[in-house]
Structure 1
Amino acid sequence: MANPGERVIEVACTEDKLIVDLADGRSISVPLAWYPRLLHASPLERGNWQIAGAGFGIHWPDIDEDLSVEGLLRGAPSPRAKVLSS
């Protein structure tokens, strides 16, 4: 069950990271390489995001990408991503 504090407040992308700020004050930072659609999107496409799923998800309409806070907190990359393991 989702915690109300885990609602998305703000989303930002750097050249190599996705950063999501939550209502409870936490920030999640994950590699953009985990999400190929975001990685290969333009800065304008990355900046066009919407809060989805009653606040517990993020949707990028220009690239048809959807991420959940639950997945981000679990550290779950996209099934399409090739993640190197150590």
Structure 2
Amino acid sequence: MHLNSGLELAIPSHLVEGLTDATPVALADIEVSPTGLGLHWPQLDADLYVPALLQGQFGSPS
């Protein structure tokens, strides 16, 4: 992920709820929300909120 500030982030998929067992093809199919604050993987029906990722929250508490 490349942010407007110049910060680049890479997060191992096994740390993110909903992405753990995803194939590379499914991970590559990603959409950014119109606001730029959300990420969506349609093949996985998984969504992440970018500010939560920056806070180190990789899914729900469970």
How would you bin the TM-score normalised by the shorter chain?
Answer: 0.7 to 0.9
Which of structure 1's runs of 4+ aligned residues deviate more than 3 A? none
Larger Rg: 1
Structure that is richer in helix per residue = 1
CA distance in 2, matches of 1:80, 1:40: 19
Partner of 1:72, secondary structure, is helix
Q: What TM-score results when the alignment is normalised by the length of structure 1?
A: 0.61
Q: What TM-score results when the alignment is normalised by the length of structure 2?
A: 0.81
Q: Percent identity?
A: 29
Instruction: Report the alpha carbon displacement of residue 34 of structure 1 after superposing the two structures with TM.
Output: 2.2
Partner of 1:39, secondary structure, is coil
Partner of 2:56: 75
Give unmatched runs, 5+ long, in structure 2. Answer: none
Cα RMSD (Å) of the superposition?
1.8
Structure that is richer in strand per residue = 1
